[in-house]
Amino acid sequence: MRLKDCHNFYDFRKLAEKKLPSPIFHYIDGAADDEITYKRNTSAFNDVDLVPNVLRGVENVDLSTTIFGKKIDLPFYCAPTALQRLFHYDGERAVGKAAQKFNTMFGVSALATVSVEEISSMIDTPKMFQFYFHKDRGLNDSCLERAKAAKFDVMALTVDTITGGNRERDLRTGFTSPPKLTLSSLFSFAIKPMWGINYLTKGKFELPHLQDYVKEGTSTNTSIGNYFSTMLDQSMNWKDAEKLCSQWGGHFALKGVMSVEDAKKAVDIGCTGIMVSNHGGRQLDGSRSPFDQLSEIVDAVGDKIDVICEGGFQRGTHMLKALSIGAKACSGGRLYLYALAAAGQAGVERALGQYKAELERDMKLMGCTKISDLSRSNLRFRKNGS
């Protein structure tokens, strides 16, 4: 199986599984507890059907949208995800360049393996920095200052990782970052020699935003759950978020908001956007899917801030449905991570190109030429009729 055999999300996932040592594949692929929420994030789209219109003259489709004051050419973007150089040796460099090529937003994680400075010198398209609230305030200030200096457009504070989720696949595979070669994991690394060679020869693995402050930044092996539970400040509250928001002084979003109440509070503290997200089902299993919750939140705050729907997207039609409800844009992690693992920048470009082609085709089939043509009148819910 090669990159040219990848026609959709599921193909990329398969190719990624072939290329990655299994603890790393399962780190991407897994979620919390029984992975009920992870599955629901996608299956929620299947409880609603699209109702197309015909004879609308749709040869030219404009997929552009404006989020956080920036026009992007696609109504979806690459959500910030951690540790990308574990998945492919180019890591964030590959994803950033691919995002630039399609002129969409590129989200960079606080746990990125390439620095904001390097990314900033590499791409000039819209960039978002994702931020965790650490106990170490010096580290927090440093992250904000560096992102500001590197001219990032948006700051997103993640609020759904107050403690690490129970990712049982990681417990079983013994996944840590950087990877620790235990006897049990050795075999899974040994049978993927290319990954090992690239990992060891293509530059040292590091977490440049953290390494001056915490030992987890460089060489200590830690699980991500453990990192969340020990390094992040669990007492984080609305006051802290408000302070960060004004300290940043630009477009500021909360990532991981699920309740209407919290969405309204986000508006009150000065956020310009929120990501409706459950962290890809990786934190609280049994929590509601972003798509199921989207309409309530759009109704409450959609006219005041940008509401982004994040999680579960595997098809262009999934995005059409979220945009029809009123999401300003869609974002996802696995959406491009399997493609990154499968083939680096070329993989991510192919994946983004496919979603774009799907969206264009589906917009035409829906009888729509621009994102603002989509509305809830395009949708029929199978249950509850909401």
Partner 1 sequence: MDLDDCHNFDDFRILAKKKLPSPIFHYIDGGSDDEITLKRNTNSFNSCDLIPNVLNGVENPDLTTTIFGRKINMPLFLSPTAMQRLYHPDGDKASARAAEKFGTMYSMSTMANTSIEEISNISSGPKLFQLYVHKDKSITDDLVERCKRANFDGLCLTVDTIVAGNRERDHRTGFTTPPKLTFKSLVDFAVKPKWVFDYFTNKKFELSNVKNKTDKGTNITKSVIEYINEQYDPGMNWKDAEYIVKKWNGPFALKGIMSLEDVERAIDIGCTAVMISNHGGRQLDGSLSPFDQIKEISDKFGDKVEIILDGGIRRGTHVIKALAAGAKACSFGKGYLFSLSAGGQKGVEKMLQNMHNEIKRNMKLMGCKNLKELNSSKLAYR
33 binds partner 1 (CB under 8 A): yes
In whole angstroms, the minimum distance from the beta carbon of 269 to partner 1 comes to: 9
Handedness of CA 175, 44, 98, 118 (dihedral sign): negative
Q: Does 241 bind partner 1 (CB under 8 A)?
A: yes
Query: What is the β-pairing status of strands 76-81 and 106-108?
Result: parallel
Q: Is 327 helix (H, G, I), strand (E, B) or coil?
A: coil
CB of 235 to partner 1, least distance (A): 5
Q: Which stretch binds partner 1 (CB under 8 A): 71-79, 155-163, 342-350, 368-376?
A: 155-163
Least Å distance, CB 381 to partner 1, is 11
Q: Please answer whether residues 281 and 41 qualify as being in contact, where contact means their C-beta atoms are separated by less than 8 angstroms.
A: yes
Binding partner 1 by CB under 8 A: which of 90, 92, 153, 160? 160
Please select the residue that binds partner 1; options are 17, 238, 304, 346, rule is CB under 8 A: 238
CB of 19 to partner 1, least distance (A): 27
Which residue, 277 or 345, has its beta carbon nearer to partner 1?
277
Using CB under 8 A as the binding rule, whether residue 385 contacts partner 1 is answered as no
The torsion angles phi and psi of 251, rounded to 5 degrees, stand at: -65, 130
- Contact present, 118 and 369 (Cβ < 8 Å): no
> DSSP assignment, residue 78?
E
Task: List alpha helices for 61-177, DSSP H.
Answer: 84-87, 92-101, 116-122, 137-149, 168-173
β-strands 70-72, 65-67: how paired?
antiparallel
Q: What is the C-alpha to C-alpha distance for residues 181 and 9, in angstroms, rounded to an integer?
A: 30
Closest CA to 9 of 50, 44, 42, 52: 42
Binding marks (x or -) toward partner 1, 287..306, rule CB under 8 A?
Answer: xxx--xx-------------
26 is catalytic: no
| β partners of residue 252 | 155
Query: What is the Cα–Cα distance from 107 to 128, expressed in whole angstroms?
Result: 5
Position 234 contacts partner 1 (CB under 8 A)? yes
Within 247-266, the residues that bind partner 1 by CB under 8 A are 254, 256-259, 261-262, 265
By CB under 8 A, the count of residues binding partner 1 is 41
Instruction: Tell me which of 59, 124, 194, 237 binds partner 1, using CB under 8 A.
Output: 237
| Tokens coding 220 | 């200590």
Minimum CB distance to partner 1, residue 6 (Å): 32
Residues at the site binding partner 1, with contacts judged by CB under 8 A: 33-34, 36-37, 40, 159-160, 162-166, 168, 171-172, 234-238, 240-241, 254, 256-259, 261-262, 265, 278, 283-289, 292-293, 383
Catalogue the active-site residues.
Answer: 279
